[in-house]
Structure formats: C-alpha cells, structure tokens
A = this chain, B = another copy of it.
Amino acid sequence: MTQLESARKGIITTEMKAVAESEFLSPELIRDEIVKGRLLITANPLHKNLKPIAIGREVRCKINANIGNSALLSNLDEEIGKLTNCVKYGADAVMDLSSGGQISQIREAILTNSPIPLGTVPVYEALAIAGDPMLLSEDVILNVIENQARQGVDFMTIHCGLLKRHMPLACKRLTRIVSRGGSIVARWMAHHGKENPFYTRFDDILDICRKYDVSLSLGDGLRPGSQFDASDEAQFSELEVLGELTLEAWDKGVQVMIEGPGHVPFDQIEMNMKKEEELCHGAPFYVLGPIVTDIAPGYDHITAAIGATMAGFHGASMLCYVTPREHLGLPDAEDVRNGIIAFKIAAHAVDIAKKRPKARERDDAMSKARYEFNWKKQFELSLDPERAREFYAKGHTEKRDEDEAFCTMCGPDFCALKNSSLIDK
C-alpha cells in the first residue's frame, strides 16, 4: 500500500509517525493531510536507510538540491562529493539530473549513500538510451520508470501536462521552453505529430508508481524562462492539465506534488501560488526558485532565494534550489553549498513567518549568544559554521580568543551590544 492508501484506511504508518515527530505535530494531522492530498511522504520502501520527510502545506518548508553530471562535466566521484555537501548543509531532498554517462551507476551510488529522498527525471535516462529525442518510444520510457522505481527512487518528475495544443502558445514566447524534459517532449510531439507519451501512458505510469509507492512530481515543461513569459497562457494551460492528472493519480492511490516556476516577477508570486492551490486541488507545490529578475547571472541563488521565500510564504511546500552557476554552467561542490545555504535561509524564513512549531528557537539562541559575545556558540548555531568562522577570523593578524566582546566591524570602543550592556550598570 502507498502512504496515501494507508492513510485512507486510517492507518498511521511508521513513516507518518517519524515525520510527525520531526515536525512536532500529531500523527493524526499528518495522516489527515495525506488523505486530503495536501501532504506527501516521498519514501520508496526499496530505498534503504531513508529518513522519510513530509512535503506539504502544514509542515516545515523543504528544500531540494539538484545534482548530476552532464555530457561535458563531472563523474561518479564528483557527484558523490556533491551529495555529501547536500546532506552536510541540510538539503531535505536531492534530485539526480544526470544526463551524461553512467546514469544508472551514479543513481545507484547516490541511493546507497543518501539518507534523504532521491528524485529523478526519467526522460533523461530514456533519451540517453534512445540516443535522439525522435527515437524515444513509450516502451523505453515505461521501462526506465520501472527500472528506476525498482532501484528505490522516491519521487519522479514526469512531464505529462505539456500537450500538442500548447505548442503554438510556447512558440509565441520570448524564451519558449526552458525545461529540458519539456523541450524533449515537445520536439518528439512536433516530429511525430503525436500526443505526449507521458500523458497518453499516464495510467501505466500510475500503476508503476502505485506498486513501488513512488511519488509523482508533475513537471512543468512550460514553466516561464523569463520575466517576460511569466504567468502566460502556456504556463497556466499546462497547470490546468496537471490539476486533472492530480485527480487521476489520487484515484489510483498515488501521491502527487506539482512543479512550478521558474522566472516570476515578485508581485506575481502570490497569485501563482493561489492559482496552483486552486487548479491542483491543494496538492503541494514544488517550485524552482522562482527568480525575480533575469539580469543577475552568477547570483541566481540570491534572485531565487528571494522568490522562493515569497513562494513559501504564500503556500509552496518545497523549494528547489538554484545555484550561483545557473544559466552559466554545471554547478560544482562549492556552488551546491552556496545554493543550499541560500535555500535553507529561504525555507527557514518561511517557517519563522508561518510560526511552525519551534521554528524560531535556533534564532533566539543565536541572538542570546550574540548578546553574550559567545562566539563559539554563534558558530555552532550558524547554517554554515565554517564560513562564519572564516569570516570572523579574516582581518585579525594576531591569534584571538573566541570570547572577546567585539569584532572588527566596530572595534572594542564602538560596539553597540557592549555599550548597551553597560547601560544600567
């Protein structure tokens, strides 16, 4: 039984108990939210040593980190290095987007080493097998999905909402299709004159997902790739289809979340979140950024963290990180680190804003440590202790204790905290 089927039968599974505990919520609430489709637990029973997580509207905001090689860069060892960074810096889930060589081996190694849920985009491996988008077949696709499910993949992105009738809408855009999966499917449809195989074979895909309790992440092949294209007809027409397919998946007992943009002006983010909730019947929204301006390549972890905070505040349940290398190249381990911390910040800011149980305890402990000039404690409480320590140390020529009541910002005589601590003495 999938988590959804168990929940419907009133069963509280081990996974529901575990996530309830880590969220400081009751197992009954978790179960009820699963029944409503507003929460999912991405946990393929074949993924051993997995610590399950909940993605949903009543729990802490999650972040996903994308790793994986390309034909031009990276190998198995490097990808395991990235995975290590993902776990170390606190990613809640990871997606392996490998499209270069050794796809199956890399995934196997990641699954063995990952205590967090693993997601994939099966069309990438299907394309690697077929060799050319035009040579993709429904059978290859279904085989890849089943093989990955059997390997233990926890959730999969399926680009099932982009249909033939949407193609003219996409071709009107400034940046057309910026989803890799979406563009592959689009070329296939244009070439063969046939409907999207992920749509026509959706029922077969559901059977596989139900069998292995793979959660579906309904992909947004038509997410906007520019501020200009945001919130257009192409985007929302696809979202409508995803809403219909959500109901089909639920009918079969398959857990679902919806993927979202992308590039969205800050003022349109709230509207985008509400539209998804309405069109997709409350299924959790899993957004990529969104980035709120197009002119900052090299800093898109920041443009995206801004949009992601706003998205999470207005209802998104999982935020897919963007690294500083976005739009410029494949991220390396340091980019992964910077992307994750930026998104930990976004998700945590959302949890504080939404007053999730105990969310602000760490902030308050940090503020207390600041007032007490307890630098060691401050570093320990930091999202990235190494970085904090490095920045604190830089500029000091002599060896310093970590208990001095000032830093180089103001020096000993100008420190506001020190001054204000002397007020009532």
Contact = CB atoms under 8 A, between A and B. Distances in A.
Interface of A: 70-73, 99-100, 124, 127, 133, 167, 170-171, 174-180, 182-184, 186-187, 190, 225-229, 265-267, 292-299, 301-303, 305-306, 309-310, 313, 324-330, 332, 341-342, 344-346, 348-350, 352-354, 360, 362-364, 366-368, 370-371, 378, 381-384, 387-388, 390-392, 394-395, 407-417, 419-424
A35 B390 CA distance: 49
A411 B176 contact: no
A384 B305 contact: no
A226 B328 contact: no
Given A71-B411, A342-B302, A345-B299, A419 B329 contact: no
Contact of A419 (B133, B342, B414): B133
A302 B348 CA distance: 13
Nearest to A297: B388
A382 B300 CA distance: 11
A175 B100 CA distance: 51
A186 B73 contact: no
Contacts of A73: 395, 408
Contacts of A395: 72-73, 329-330, 332
A365 to B, nearest CB: 9
A218 to B, nearest CB: 18
Contacts of A178: 416-417, 420
A227 B265 contact: no
B328 A187 contact: no
Nearest to A298: B387
Contacts of A265: 349, 352-353, 360
Quickly give the copy total for this chain: 2
A296 B306 CA distance: 15
Contacts of A341: 296, 299, 302
Contacts of A100: 411
A182 B416 contact: yes
Contacts of A345: 292-293, 296, 299, 302-303, 306
Given A176-B423, A295-B382, 17 more contacts: A73-B395, A99-B414, A171-B424, A180-B415, A180-B416, A183-B417, A186-B419, A227-B360, A228-B364, A266-B353, A292-B352, A295-B348, A295-B383, A297-B391, A299-B383, A302-B341, A309-B310
A267 B325 CA distance: 30
Contacts of A182: 416, 420
B186 A420 contact: yes
